[in-house]
Amino acid sequence: MGITITKNGFPNINVYVWFLLGKLVPLYLLLIWFLTCRHWWYHIILIPILMYGFQIFEGVISDDNFIDTDNILWLLPFCMILVPVVYFIRIKLYDKYVHGIDLEAMEDELRKLKEKQDNDHEDSKTGSTSTTSTISTSDTRENLITKSSAQTPSPSTSITSEETGYKSFSEKINEKLSTRKLESQFKQLQNQLSDWSH
């Protein structure tokens, strides 16, 4: 086959193969998990993948008597890059889906407002009046303030999940584990069992 496996500093070849399999199997499983994971934090899986890869590289290439000693120091630069990237992904997702802050929609609305103000400003410079740009800048600001105050709830008013269409995890648990829901599920089970037994 052309592949020669030596002891490579281990007491015998069995220990060396045991060491390699102990590193290759978790690496293989972590690679599968990384490639199939659909969670937002899947980039963090790269840290143990890199660690196992480095340990295999060290075990195959190095003739050193001590292995798996200072691997975290070699992984530290990768961690310093990966952890902030994953944290910023988390912040963006948390703002969008938990707080309901969509920065792209806000930027689009501000861009449209600026274009409208620029058009109004150009029309006022040229002296022409068009039917589309009859709102002044102060009216636009007042409309924005009233629009934003109408959209944002005051602290005294609370918006229910039925109004927003969003249910938090605790609301979902409360709905599924409510007394009426559990009671109806037990009655259905009891009816099914009684129908099945008779």
Of 17, 18, 49, the residue nearest 33 (C-alpha):
49
**Which residues of the chain are modeled with pLDDT < 70?**
1, 97-98, 127-166, 169-170, 173-174, 177-179, 182, 198
pLDDT score of 135 = 47
Cβ 16 vs Cβ 5: under 8 Å: yes
Question: DSSP state, 98?
Answer: T
Side-chain-facing half-sphere of 149: CA atoms under 13 Å: 6
- pLDDT for residue 138: 47
* 46 CB-near residues (< 8 Å, 6+ apart): 34, 78, 82
State the Cα angle at 177 between 171 and 178, rounded to 5°: 85
